[in-house]
C-alpha cells in the first residue's frame, strides 16, 4: 500500500512534527524539519516515524469508527511521516551536495522501505480498511473513495495471498526495486565516450562540455611523428552531451560515432533489463494477472493493455503518411546541403538537419531567442501566470538557517489575498555536479484537512538543471527549457492548488494516465504571446520579445510533429511489449525493439545499437509510458475548449481550479475530465477509456 514512488506523482506527506514556518532568524533543519539539522538526524527522523506509526496501528487495532479508521490510516503516511521520510530522503539523495547527508538519506530510505513492507502486510490494518469500506454509508464521498483505494492498494501488495505467496511477492518487490536502482546506476556510471581528433571537428561553443585528450590522431591523419601529441576531445555520451553534439556538429562521422556509442551503453543493462522483465512478469502472475502490463494498467483510465495497444496502433497508422513525408523532406534537405543526391538519411542526422531546417524556414536563431529568457524573468513569468489565472501572488519568502541544502535554492509562497498562503515551493534550478540530472517535482508534504478550520499546506521542490553559458554569468534558457520549466510548474500547481481532505489524493496522486495532463497543459503558456510579452525581456536591453520572433518559434514548433508523435508511439509500444504477456521462450529484446522501430517509425534501426538499455522510463513508467500521449490529448482538448480564447483570465483560472486542480485524485478521473471540458474529451473503448485525439491531431496538422 505504501511504497517508494516515482517523482512525477509523488506521495506527498507530512509528519507529526509539522513543518514550521518561521522568521528568517529561527534555526531549523533541512526542509523545515527540526530533526534534519545534521545528517545523523535522519536516524531520529526514521525512528520517530516508526514509533508514532506503531501508536496509530495500535489505535486502529481497536477498531474505532470507520471515519476514524480512514483518518488514522491517512495519518500513518502523513502526520507520522512514514512516506514523508521517504520523500524527503529521496529529495536529499538527489540534490544535496554533502555526501554525508546523501548517504544518511539513502540509509533512511532503505530502513523505511523495510518498515513499509511490514505495514503493507499488516492483516489488522487490512481488516480495518475492509470494515471501513463496507461502512461506506457512514463516510463522506472522499473518505469512501479513500477506503476503496486503500483496500485495493493492500491487495495489489499481495496481502490477500497465502503467507508463502506473500513472502514471495515481497521478495520480488525488493528484487525489482534493486534492479531498477542497478539499471539507473549503470546509466550514470557508464555513459560511454568517444575520443575525437582534432578539436576542430567539434563546434567551439561545445568545447566547455568536453575533456581534452592527447596522444591520438584523426582517422586518415597524415601527420608527422608529432601526431602522438595531437589534441582532441573525449566526448561523454550522456544524454545531455549526446543531444548537443547531434544538434550542432556538422561532421557526420563524429555524429555517427557519438550516436552509436550513446545508444549502445551501458552493456550491463541488457542483463538487468531481462531480469527486470522476468521479475515483473512473475510478480504479475502471482497477483493473478496475465502480464505486468495488465497489473499496471488496470487501475487507470485505460483499464487494459489491449485498449492501450489498440489506441497506439491506430495513432501510428494515422501519423505514418505525414511522418513519411517529413522523412523525405529531411532527406532531400540533407542531399541539398551536402551536395550528394544519393545520400541516405540516418538516425544521427535527424537532430542536426531538423534544427537547421527549423532555423532556416522560420528565421529562428536559438541564441537570439535565449537572450529574451534570462531565468529570473522566466520566474517572473510564473508569477504573472498565477496572478492572472488565480488572483494569487507567487513571491520569495526567507529561508531559515539550516532549511536549505544549497545557496542557489530559493523558497516561494503561493499566496491568495482572501485565502492566505496556499502552499510553498522550493526552487533548485541551477545545474551542479552530483545533482539529479533532469527536471522534476519532488514532494515534501501534501495537503490535507486537519480540522474544519485548519488545512495543512502542501510543500514541494521543483528541481531543474539550467546551466550558465561559458561566456556569461546570466542563465539564459533556450525555448525548450522555458517549456520544461512551465511543464514542471504545472505539476507543482497541481499539488499547490489541491484541497483534498486526505493526503492520499493530494495533488498529483491521481490515475497514472491523467497525472501528466496539467504539466502538458501549462506547456501551452510557454508558447502564447499573450503571456510571453508580459515577462520575456532581453537580458541586456530590456526589450520585450518581438511578436514576430514568437510567431517564428510557433512556426518551427510543429514542423516535424508527425515524426515526434511516431517516436512517442514507438516508445509507448516498446514499454507495452516488453512488459506484456511473455512467450514460453525468452525473446531477443534488442530484436523486438528493432522490429518495432521499423514498423512504427520512418527511420532505420542502426544495427549494433541498443537504445532501450538507457530508457529509464521503463523503470518509473513500466507499462505506463502511454500516459504521456494520453496527457497530450487531454491537454490539447482542454486548451482549445477552456483556455485558448482567454488563457490569462481569472474566469479561466477559476474553472481550472474548481473543476480540476482542487480535487487532486479525490474524484473519478473520467468525471473530472468531462466536468472540465465536456463529455467529448474521452470515449469508451472496450473495457477502458481513451482520449479524443481530434484536437491534438488538428493542432499538429495531422
Active site residues: 488
The grid coordinates of residue 340 equal 550528394
Asked if omega into 266 is within 30° of 0 (cis), the reply is: yes
**What string of H, E and C letters represents the secondary structure of 193-229?**
EEEECCHHHCCHHHHHHCEEEECCCCCCCCCCHHHHH
How far lies 570's CA from each of 99, 275, 300, in Å? 39, 22, 21
The grid coordinates of residue 623 equal 507499462
Query: Is-contact 571 600, C-beta < 8 A?
Result: no
For 259-294, b/e burial (b = at least 16 CB within 10 A) is bbbbbbbbebbeebbebbbebbbbbbebbebebbbb
Cα distance between residue 132 and residue 137, in whole Å: 10
Task: Give bridge partners of residue 428 from the DSSP assignment.
Answer: 463
Q: At what angle do helices 141-156 and 66-77 cross, to 10 degrees?
A: 60
The grid coordinates of residue 406 equal 544549497
- Is residue 690 helix, strand or coil? strand
Cα distance between residue 18 and residue 329, in whole Å: 59
Strand pairing category for 682-685 and 688-691: antiparallel
Q: Residue 234 contacts by C-beta under 8 Å, 6 or more apart in sequence?
A: 193, 194, 195, 196, 210, 211, 212, 213
The grid coordinates of residue 554 equal 510557433
Cα distance between residue 503 and residue 457, in whole Å: 10
Return phi, psi of residue 16, to 5°: -65, -20
User: What contacts 24+ positions apart, CB below 8 Å, involve 97-100?
Assistant: 97/405, 97/406, 97/432, 97/434, 97/435, 98/39, 98/405, 100/39
Amino acid at each position: 500500500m505504501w511504497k517508494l514512488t516515482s517523482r512525477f506523482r509523488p506521495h506527498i506527506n507530512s509528519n507529526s512534527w509539522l513543518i514550521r514556518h518561521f522568521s528568517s532568524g529561527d534555526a531549523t533543519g533541512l526542509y523545515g524539519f527540526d530533526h534534519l539539522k545534521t545528517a545523523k538526524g535522519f536516524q531520529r527522523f526514521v525512528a520517530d516515524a516508526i514509533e508514532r506509526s506503531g501508536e496509530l496501528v495500535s489505535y486502529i487495532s481497536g477498531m474505532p469508527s470507520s471515519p476514524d479508521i480512514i483518518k488514522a490510516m491517512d495519518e500513518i503516511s502523513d502526520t507520522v511521516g512514514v512516506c514523508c521520510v521517504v520523500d524527503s530522503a529521496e529529495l536529499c539523495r538527489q540534490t544535496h551536495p554533502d555526501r554525508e547527508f546523501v548517504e544518511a538519506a539513502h540509509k533512511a530510505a532503505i530502513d523505511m522501505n523495510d518498515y513499509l513492507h511490514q505495514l503493507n502486510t499488516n492483516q489488522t490494518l487490512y481488516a480495518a480498511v475492509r470494515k471501513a469500506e463496507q461502512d461506506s454509508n457512514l463516510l463522506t464521498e472522499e473518505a469512501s473513495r479513500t477506503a476503496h483505494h486503500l483496500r485495493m492498494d493492500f491487495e495489489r501488495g499481495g496481502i490477500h495471498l497465502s503467507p508463502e505467496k506473500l513472502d514471495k511477492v515481497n521478495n520480488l518487490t525488493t528484487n525489482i526495486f534493486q534492479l531498477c536502482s542497478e539499471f539507473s546506476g549503470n546509466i550514470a556510471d557508464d555513459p560511454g565516450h568517444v575520443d575525437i581528433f582534432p578539436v576542430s571537428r567539434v563546434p567551439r561553443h561545445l568545447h566547455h562540455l568536453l575533456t581534452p585528450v592527447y596522444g591520438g590522431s584523426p582517422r586518415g591523419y597524415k601527420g608527422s611523428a608529432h601526431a602522438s601529441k595531437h589534441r582532441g576531445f573525449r566526448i561523454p555520451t550522456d544524454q545531455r552531451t549526446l543531444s548537443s553534439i547531434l544538434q550542432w556538429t556538422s561532421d557526420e562521422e563524429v555524429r555517427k560515432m557519438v550516436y552509436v556509442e550513446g545508444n549502445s551503453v551501458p552493456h550491463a543493462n541488457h542483463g538487468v533489463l531481462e531480469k527486470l522483465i522476468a521479475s515483473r512478469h512473475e510478480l504479475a502472475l502471482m497477483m493473478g494477472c496475465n502480464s505486468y502490463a495488465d497489473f499496471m494498467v488496470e487501475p487507470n483510465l485505460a483499464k487494459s493493455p489491449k485498449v492501450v495497444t489498440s489506441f497506439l496502433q491506430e495513432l501510428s497508422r494515422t501519423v505514418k503518411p505525414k511522418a513519411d513525408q517529413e522523412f523525405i523532406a529531411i532527406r532531400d534537405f540533407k542531399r541539398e546541403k551536402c551536395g550528394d543526391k544519393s545520400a541516405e538519411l540516418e538516425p544521427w542526422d535527424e537532430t542536426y538537419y531538423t534544427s537547421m531546417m527549423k532555423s532556416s524556414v522560420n528565421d529562428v536563431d536559438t541564441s537570439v531567442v535565449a537572450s529574451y529568457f534570462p531565468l529570473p524573468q522566466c520566474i517572473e513569468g510564473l508569477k504573472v501566470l498565477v496572478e492572472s489565472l488565480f488572483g494569487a501572488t507567487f513571491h520569495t519568502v526567507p529561508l531559515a538557517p539550516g532549511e536549505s541544502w544549497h545557496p542557489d535554492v530559493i523558497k516561494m509562497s503561493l499566496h491568495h489575498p482572501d485565502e492566505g498562503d496556499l502552499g510553498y515551493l522550493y526552487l533548485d534550478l541551477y545545474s551542479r555536479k552530483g545533482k539529479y540530472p533532469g527536471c522534476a517535482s519532488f514532494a515534501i508534504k501534501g495537503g490535507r484537512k486537519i480540522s474544519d478550520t485548519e488545512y495543512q499546506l502542501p510543500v514541494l521542490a521543483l528541481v531543474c538543471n539550467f546551466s550558465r553559458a561559458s561566456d556569461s554569468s546570466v542563465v539564459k534558457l533556450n525555448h525548450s527549457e522555458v517549456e520544461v520549466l512551465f511543464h514542471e510548474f504545472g505539476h507543482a500547481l497541481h499539488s499547490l492548488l489541491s484541497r483534498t481532505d486526505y493526503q492520499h489524493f493530494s495533488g498529483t496522486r491521481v490515475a497514472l494516465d491523467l497525472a501528466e495532463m496539467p504539466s502538458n497543459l501549462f506547456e501551452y503558456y510557454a508558447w502564447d504571446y499573450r503571456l510571453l510579452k508580459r515577462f520575456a525581456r532581453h537580458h541586456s536591453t530590456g526589450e520585450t520579445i518581438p511578436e514576430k520572433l514568437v510567431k517564428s518559434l510557433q512556426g518551427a514548433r510543429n514542423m516535424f510533429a508527425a515524426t515526434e508523435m511516431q517516436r512517442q508511439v514507438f516508445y509507448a509500444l516498446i514499454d507495452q511489449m516488453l512488459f506484456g504477456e511473455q512467450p514460453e521462450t525468452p525473446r531477443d529484446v534488442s530484436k523486438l525493439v528493432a522490429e518495432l522501430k521499423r514498423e512504427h517509425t520512418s527511420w532505420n534501426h542502426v544495427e549494433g545499437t541498443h537504445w532501450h538499455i538507457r530508457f529509464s522510463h521503463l523503470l518509473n513508467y513500466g507499462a505506463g509510458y502511454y500516459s504521456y500521449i494520453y496527457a497530450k490529448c487531454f491537454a490539447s482538448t482542454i486548451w482549445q475548449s477552456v483556455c485558448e480564447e482567454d488563457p490569462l483570465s481569472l474566469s479561466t483560472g477559476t474553472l481550472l481550479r474548481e473543476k480540476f486542480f482542487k480535487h487532486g485524485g479525490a474524484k473519478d478521473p473520467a468525471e473530472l475530465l468531462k466536468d472540465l471540458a465536456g463529455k467529448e474529451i474521452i470515449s469508451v473503448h472496450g473495457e477502458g477509456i481513451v482520449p479524443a485525439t481530434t484536437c491534438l491531431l488538428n493542432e499538429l496538422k495531422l
